C-alpha cells in the first residue's frame, strides 16, 4: 500500500472532479508512464551490474590439481618410475586435462632419471613450475641467497616444454610475519616475471604418505581401503573448508588450487579422489585457468604469509572463526591414521607431554605449518561501538 499523501500516492492518484476528469485521466497516464520509465532506467542497469558482479553470482566450486616436490624418492608401494606412470595414467583416466608439477631441479640428476619423468608429465599435457632449486625454506636463508636459488632453478627450467613462469615457495613459507624479507623476495620474483603459485587447499597429503612409508618399514598391517578413504576424505574436506573460508573472506569463489605431492598414495588413489571431488560438486579446471584469476596475482603485503592463500587473506582481513583445516594439525592427523588405517589405539600422552605440547603451540600466525586445533581461530576486532570490523 502507498501512504496517503506520499509522493507515490500523489503521482498515481486519479482525479475525477467535474470538467477536468478527462484531462486528469490523460495526466494520470503520463505520470504512470514517467514512473515506469524511471524504474526501468534505475533498475535495469543495477540488475545488469549485479549480474556481472562476481560477488553476486553464485559461483560453482572449481579446483585445479598441483603436485609438489618433483622428483621424490621411492615411496611405500612403487619405484619413482612406476609412480610417474601411474600418476599420468590416473590423471588421464580421471579426465584431468592439465595438472601442474612443481620441480626442484637440484634433486634431478642422471642417477634418478627425473628429467624423463618430468618430460612424461608434459607429454601427457601437464605443465611444470618452479619450486626452487634446493627446496630450502625461506626462513633458513637470507633473501638474496633465496633468490639466487630461484635463479638456479629458472636456469634449468626456462625454455623446456611445458614450462610456466610460476614459483611456489617451499613449505608454502613466504616469510611468515617477516614482511621485510617477504617484500624483498616478492619484488625479486616480480623483477624475474615469476607469478607466485599460491596454494589454496592443503590437506597435508605429504604426512599421509610419510605415515604410510613408516608403517610399511615397521612391517605393520595397512588397511588399504581405509587408507584410500582417509586420503580422499581429507582432501575433499580440505577443499570444502577453503572454499567456505575464501567465500566469507572476499565474497566470491575463485578457482581453488589443491596441493598434492608426487607420492605413491596420490598415484594409487588419484582417480578415487577426482571422482569424490566431482561427486561433492567440484569441477576440475586447468592450472592455467586457476592461476589466471586475479586473486592469485596479489603481491601486496600480508600480516602472515606462511600457508594457504585463504589463510593469508583471512588473517589480513581479521575474519573471525576457524582459519585452518583441522587435519593439518599433525598430532590429530597421525591419530586418525593410527586408528583408521593401522587399527591401533594411539599411545596415551602423559600430562607432562600434553602441557609441553600446549606450550609449544600458542596462538600465533601459523606456527611453521603446524596448526593447533584448539587455537586455530581468530576473534574479529571490535570497534568502540561494538560492531565487528
- pLDDT (0 to 100) of residue 320: 85
Q: Rounded to an integer, what distance in angstroms lies between the CA atom of residue 339 and that of residue 249?
A: 34
- pLDDT (0 to 100) of residue 285: 98
DSSP code string of 329-362: SHHHHHHHHHHHTS--PPPPPPHHHHHHHHHHS-
Q: Rounded to an integer, what distance in angstroms lies between the CA atom of residue 324 and that of residue 310?
A: 9
Quick one: how many helices (H) and strands (E) in the chain? 13, 12
Going residue by residue through the chain, which has 389 residues, state the pLDDT in tens, using 9 for 90 and above: 445 555 544 545 545 445 455 556 566 565 656 554 554 444 434 433 433 334 334 479 999 999 999 999 999 999 999 999 999 999 999 999 999 999 999 999 877 889 999 999 999 999 999 999 999 999 999 999 999 999 999 999 999 999 999 999 999 999 988 999 999 999 999 999 999 999 999 999 999 999 999 999 999 999 999 999 999 999 999 999 999 999 999 999 999 999 999 999 999 999 999 999 999 999 999 999 999 999 999 999 998 889 999 999 999 999 988 999 999 999 999 999 999 999 997 655 544 444 444 444 443 444 444 444 433 433 333 333 333 32
- pLDDT (0 to 100) of residue 345: 79
Strands 163-167 and 100-103, sheet pairing: unpaired
Q: Which of 81, 67, 152, 132 is nearest to 111 (CA)?
A: 81
Q: Rounded to an integer, what distance in angstroms lies between the CA atom of residue 238 and that of residue 2?
A: 51
Q: Which of 298, 208, 200 is nearest to 254 (CA)?
A: 200
Q: Rounded to an integer, what distance in angstroms lies between the CA atom of residue 302 and that of residue 148?
A: 24
Q: Rounded to an integer, what distance in angstroms lies between the CA atom of residue 337 and that of residue 344?
A: 9
Here the cell at position 211 is 605415515
Amino acid at each position: 500500500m502507498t501512504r496517503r499523501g506520499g509522493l507515490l500516492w500523489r503521482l498515481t492518484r486519479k482525479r475525477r472532479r467535474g470538467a477536468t476528469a478527462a484531462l486528469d485521466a490523460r495526466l494520470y497516464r503520463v505520470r504512470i508512464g514517467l514512473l515506469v520509465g524511471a524504474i526501468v532506467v534505475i533498475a535495469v542497469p543495477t540488475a545488469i551490474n549485479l549480474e556481472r558482479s562476481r560477488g553476486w553470482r553464485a559461483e560453482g566450486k572449481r579446483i585445479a590439481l598441483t603436485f609438489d616436490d618433483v622428483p621424490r624418492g621411492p615411496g611405500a608401494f612403487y619405484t619413482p618410475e612406476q609412480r610417474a606412470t601411474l600418476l599420468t595414467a590416473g590423471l588421464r583416466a580421471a579426465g584431468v586435462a592439465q595438472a601442474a608439477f612443481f620441480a626442484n631441479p637440484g634433486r634431478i640428476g642422471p642417477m634418478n632419471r627425473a628429467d624423463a619423468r618430468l618430460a612424461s608429465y608434459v607429454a601427457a599435457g601437464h605443465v611444470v613450475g618452479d619450486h626452487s632449486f634446493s627446496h630450502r625454506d625461506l626462513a633458513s636463508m637470507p633473501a638474496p641467497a633465496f633468490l639466487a636459488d630461484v635463479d638456479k632453478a629458472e636456469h634449468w627450467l626456462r625454455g623446456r616444454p611445458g614450462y610456466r613462469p610460476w614459483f611456489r615457495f617451499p613449505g608454502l613459507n613466504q616469510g611468515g610475519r617477516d614482511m621485510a624479507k617477504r617484500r624483498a623476495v616478492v619484488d625479486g620474483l616480480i623483477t624475474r616475471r615469476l607469478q607466485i603459485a599460491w596454494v589454496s587447499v592443503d590437506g597435508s597429503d605429504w604426512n599421509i604418505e610419510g605415515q604410510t612409508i613408516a608403517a610399511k618399514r615397521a612391517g605393520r598391517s595397512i588397511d588399504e581401503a581405509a587408507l584410500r578413504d582417509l586420503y580422499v576424505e581429507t582432501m575433499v574436506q580440505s577443499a570444502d573448508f577453503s572454499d567456505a573460508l575464501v567465500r566469507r573472506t572476499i565474497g566470491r569463489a575463485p578457482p581453488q588450487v589443491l596441493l598434492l605431492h608426487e607420492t605413491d598414495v596420490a598415484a594409487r588413489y588419484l582417480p578415487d579422489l577426482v571422482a569424490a571431488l566431482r561427486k561433492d560438486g567440484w569441477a576440475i579446471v586447468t592450472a592455467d585457468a586457476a592461476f589466471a584469476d586475479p586473486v592469485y596475482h596479489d603481491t601486496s603485503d600480508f600480516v602472515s604469509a606462511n600457508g594457504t592463500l585463504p589463510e593469508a587473506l583471512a588473517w589480513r582481513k581479521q575474519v573471525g572463526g576457524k582459519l585452518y583445516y583441522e587435519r593439518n594439525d599433525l598430532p590429530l592427523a597421525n591419530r586418525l591414521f593410527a586408528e583408521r588405517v593401522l587399527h591401533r589405539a594411539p599411545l596415551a600422552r602423559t600430562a607432562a607431554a600434553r602441557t609441553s605440547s600446549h606450550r609449544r603451540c600458542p596462538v600465533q600466525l601459523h606456527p611453521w605449518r603446524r596448526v593447533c586445533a584448539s587455537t586455530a581461530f581468530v576473534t574479529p576486532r571490535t570497534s568502540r561501538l561494538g560492531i565487528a570490523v
